Structure 1
Amino acid sequence: MKKLLFIAMLIVPWLTMPFLGRSALKRYLPAAIFMCTFVKAIDMYGKQKRWWRFYKGMPPFKSVDFLNLGPYFVTSLWMLKMTYGKFPLYLISNIVFQFLFTFLGLKYLKRYKIASLVRLTKFQYLAIDFLRALLLYGFQYICDLGHIKKT
């Protein structure tokens, strides 16, 4: 059952990619790649500090990699496509999404032994997620500034 969950977490979000559109993918891909790399670094740092625990995954990935390369990566693309340029909507959407993940999603991650919080409270984790959302938007903004200067 757990292996099936890992595979679904990795594949199902990617099934939405054709609906994203080529131009949106091209525009937002650098920000999504940057964020997944940054999130991986934060995950490693947080694991070292015992903020959270990641349980055994399925080779060649750790359990957190399934989240990072599946839902988190694809959701970053969709969130930018749907809300970029409308900062208040972006913030509200992210806060709602992160709140749901923190207070509902983490419960399932712990139940299925994928990940769990150790030394962080849910509100501290929510704050980290909020900062990540600001970084994602800021990175995209800088990418767009660079693109404007090139043309």
Structure 2
Amino acid sequence: MKPTKLFYLAVLILPWLTVPFLGKNALKRHLPAAIFICTFTKIIDTFGEKKRWWRFYKGIPPFDSMNFFNLGPYLVMSLWILKMTYGKFVLYIISNAILHLLFNLLGLKLVDWCKIFTLEKLKKPQYFCINCSRALLLYGFQYIYDHNKK
């Protein structure tokens, strides 16, 4: 499969079609945390690419393929996972661990095949740990955001 501009646009746009089902209150409540974690992820992406942990394929200039993945499925999934599990920390951890494990087992092959990114120096268990750390950071940000808002 040769990636096209249409594919990258679909990766970006299709997840956003689910956002109206989140509800206005959930969107307003969790959007700052989702934006924070996507910004943090971009920083990690840049650092990891310089360290050759992974390599991103070209997307639609001036963006690489990971920008489309980060602003599409990753941001929207962050909103959904917070909506469904926030306030239930054990459920949040278990849900994220399962999602990240599935991504490690199946998703990494898919994103390489779809020409989004591929791991280079980083091993799958290390990538799993990075993802779990980001999940903790996302929850922590939302927790602090909620408590500062009160």
Q: Does the residue aligned with 1:2 lie in a helix, a strand or coil?
A: coil
TM-score normalised by structure 1 residue count: 0.95
Report the Cα distance in structure 2 between the residues aligned to 1:112 and 1:30, rounded to whole angstroms: 29
Q: CA deviation at 1:5?
A: 2.3
State whether residues 54 and 117 of structure 2, in contact with CA within 8 Å, keep that contact through their aligned partners in structure 1.
yes
**Partner of 2:126 in structure 1?**
124
Q: CA deviation at 1:60?
A: 3.7
**Partner of 1:134 in structure 2?**
136
Report the Cα distance in structure 2 between the residues aligned to 1:10 and 1:100, rounded to whole angstroms: 21
Corresponding position: 1:62 with 2:56: no
Quick check: 134-143 or 112-121, which moved more?
A: 112-121
Report the Cα distance in structure 2 between the residues aligned to 1:101 and 1:59, rounded to whole angstroms: 26
Q: Does the residue aligned with 1:113 lie in a helix, a strand or coil?
A: coil
Q: CA deviation at 1:61?
A: 2.1
Quick check: 97-106 or 80-89, which moved more?
A: 97-106
Of the three residues 20, 25, 28, the one matched with 2:27 is 25
Report the Cα distance in structure 1 between the residues aligned to 2:110 and 2:55, rounded to whole angstroms: 14
Of the three residues 88, 91, 94, the one matched with 2:90 is 88
Q: Does the residue aligned with 1:85 lie in a helix, a strand or coil?
A: coil
Of the three residues 47, 50, 61, the one matched with 2:49 is 47
State whether residues 69 and 116 of structure 2, in contact with CA within 8 Å, keep that contact through their aligned partners in structure 1.
no
**Partner of 2:107 in structure 1?**
105
Report the Cα distance in structure 1 between the residues aligned to 2:108 and 2:60, rounded to whole angstroms: 19
Aligned residue identity for 2:60: M
Q: CA deviation at 1:108?
A: 1.3
TM-score normalised by structure 2 residue count: 0.95
**Identity %, equivalent residues:** 61
Unaligned runs of 5+ in 2: none
Figure out how many residues of one structure are paired with residues of the other and give that number: 148
